[in-house]
Amino acid sequence: MSTLKAVRGTRDLLPPETALWNRIEATARAVFARYNFGEIRTPVFEDTALFARSVGEETDIVSKEMYTWEDRARAQSEKTQTLTLRPENTAGVVRAAIEHNLIESGQLQKLYYIGPQFRRERPQKGRYRQFSQIGAEVIGPPSAGSESPLRDAEVLEMLATLLDELGIKDWTLELNSVGSSADRERYNQALRAALVPVVSQMCADCQRRAVTNPLRVLDCKVPADQPIIEKLPVIADSLDQESEKHFAAVTAALDATGVPYTLNHRLVRGLDYYTRTTFEFTHGGLGAQNALLGGGRYDGLSEMLGGPKAPGIGFAIGEDRLVLTLLAQEVAPPQVADAFIAPLGEGLNAAALTLARELRRAGLWIELGDGSFRLKKSFDAAEKTARRIVILGEDELKSGILTVKTFATGIQTKVSRAELAGFLSN
């Protein structure tokens, strides 16, 4: 019988690597808390219309990458619905903010999430069909300061702090402004006009994009198209005064913090809802999929979803790519227990479990052997999983004096049961 495997583009995460995932998530939670963000958890699937209206029908995500299905009604009171596994989480967060009247509270909402997202992409290193994003959104009514360029700078500064605290070295922040929707409309027209004479020399994807979504041409990675793309107009020339002023204030605040960045006028980001500030943090060690995270402002998104005016800014970090970057920088240390308890004979198993319980309750990481093991087998297993071995035989149980061997030094020590936890934690 053929064996079943994980579906293409999905992966099992195993120890010791999962310890790194946990460390990343714990660091992110701790940093977000210092900036006064709270966690939101939205459903993994949503009404398909949510993504069509926000991310945009013409984007690659919506036009070809979503996992969508017809969910048949099970009762007369239900309707057949078209549902989609979320390809990103911003739309869900904004939907939830509208649904729960968070905008009406008048306060700035600062929400973060950690969870799986799904896109039917061509799998490769750093690109999967199920992947995890760590993201955050700052959204609220204009009266709460949600449009302020200070919010953009604060979010960027927070991201720099998070990457630094995670130990990600040599990241690059690229920054741009895509302006208001009116600016983008002007720019789209300029791009369309500039593409007319050259588009026939470009790749098939660009020929399609030139018609449906000219901004996406700038995302093209085909080498032969790059000289043509270089000569296309830049969005900076289509920004109105308000957008220019906003962007200048973002960069001035960022300059004051000392967070380094470069301007990249080609950075438009693929999703329809972005306005004004857009950004990406990249890392050279990642290869072709070099974006660690992306984000930007989405001042009209709430209204696109039928909500009140609620400007906002957010980002999504590719957690899989953080892991890849950290693994390339450092070898994930295998998980090593403080001690391995080796009962000498099956009659001592229950006593060994009791000793393990005592030590674990004292906060130690304990691996429990088995009395059916010969001593040599216990030592072999212990050396692979723990820093020390604790031998528990009849004599040790009666006298309360245990034999402990420390593998790093080879030293064997007698330790009383009362002092064992203290000894093992050193």
CB nearer to ligand AMP: pick between 253 and 293: 293
279 binds ligand AMP (CB under 6 A): no
CA distances from 279 to 25, 157, 307, 390 (A): 22, 12, 25, 54
291 binds ligand AMP (CB under 6 A): yes
**Given 206, 292, 355, 359, the residue binding ligand AMP (CB under 6 A):** 292
CA distances from 226 to 191, 217, 283, 417 (A): 15, 10, 21, 71
CB 368 within 8 A of CB 356: yes
**Given 48, 133, 148, 251, the residue binding ligand AMP (CB under 6 A):** 133
Q: How far is the CB of 34 from ligand AMP (least distance, A)?
A: 23
Q: How far is the CB of 70 from ligand AMP (least distance, A)?
A: 24
Angle (nearest 5°) at CA 146 between 52 and 216 = 35
Distance CA 305, CA 322 (A): 31
178 binds ligand AMP (CB under 6 A): no
128 backbone φψ class: left, alpha, beta (φ>0; ψ -120 to 50): beta
Q: How far is the CB of 5 from ligand AMP (least distance, A)?
A: 19
Q: How far is the CB of 249 from ligand AMP (least distance, A)?
A: 24
CB nearer to ligand AMP: pick between 81 and 290: 290
CB 82 within 8 A of CB 71: yes
| Run of H or E residues at 276 | strand 275-283
Q: Please list the residues that pair with 172 across neighbouring strands.
A: 282
Q: How far is the CB of 204 from ligand AMP (least distance, A)?
A: 22
293 binds ligand AMP (CB under 6 A): yes
119 binds ligand AMP (CB under 6 A): yes
Q: How far is the CB of 261 from ligand AMP (least distance, A)?
A: 16
Q: How far is the CB of 116 from ligand AMP (least distance, A)?
A: 10
SS3 for 37?
coil
Nearest residue relative to ligand AMP (C-beta): 318
CA distances from 317 to 88, 278, 280, 323, 376 (A): 11, 14, 10, 11, 47
| DSSP notation for 369-425 | --TTS-HHHHHHHHHHHBSEEEEE-HHHHHH-EEEEEETTT--EEEEEHHHHHHHHT
Angle (nearest 5°) at CA 401 between 399 and 402 = 130
The window from 220-228, 289-297, 352-360, 361-369 that contacts ligand AMP (CB under 6 A) reads 289-297
CB nearer to ligand AMP: pick between 37 and 131: 131
112 binds ligand AMP (CB under 6 A): no
Q: Which residues, 6+ apart, have CB-to-CB distance to 94 below 8 Å?
A: 54, 137, 139, 298, 301, 302, 305, 307, 310, 312
Q: How many residues does the chain have?
A: 426
Q: How far is the CB of 209 from ligand AMP (least distance, A)?
A: 16
316 binds ligand AMP (CB under 6 A): yes
CB nearer to ligand AMP: pick between 45 and 407: 45
**Given 71, 121, 244, 358, the residue binding ligand AMP (CB under 6 A):** 121
Q: How many residues bind ligand AMP (CB under 6 A)?
A: 16
Q: How far is the CB of 251 from ligand AMP (least distance, A)?
A: 21
Strands 388-392 and 339-343: parallel
127 binds ligand AMP (CB under 6 A): yes
CB 151 within 8 A of CB 199: no
Site string for ligand AMP, 61-100 (x = CB under 6 A): ---------------------------x------------
CB nearer to ligand AMP: pick between 92 and 126: 126
CB nearer to ligand AMP: pick between 163 and 292: 292
**Given 60, 154, 183, 320, the residue binding ligand AMP (CB under 6 A):** 320
Q: 90 burial class (0-12, 13-18, 19+ CB within 10 angstroms)?
A: buried
Distance CA 158, CA 146 (A): 16
120 binds ligand AMP (CB under 6 A): no
Q: How far is the CB of 131 from ligand AMP (least distance, A)?
A: 3
Residues near ligand AMP (CB under 6 A): 88, 119, 121, 126-128, 131, 133, 291-294, 316, 318, 320-321
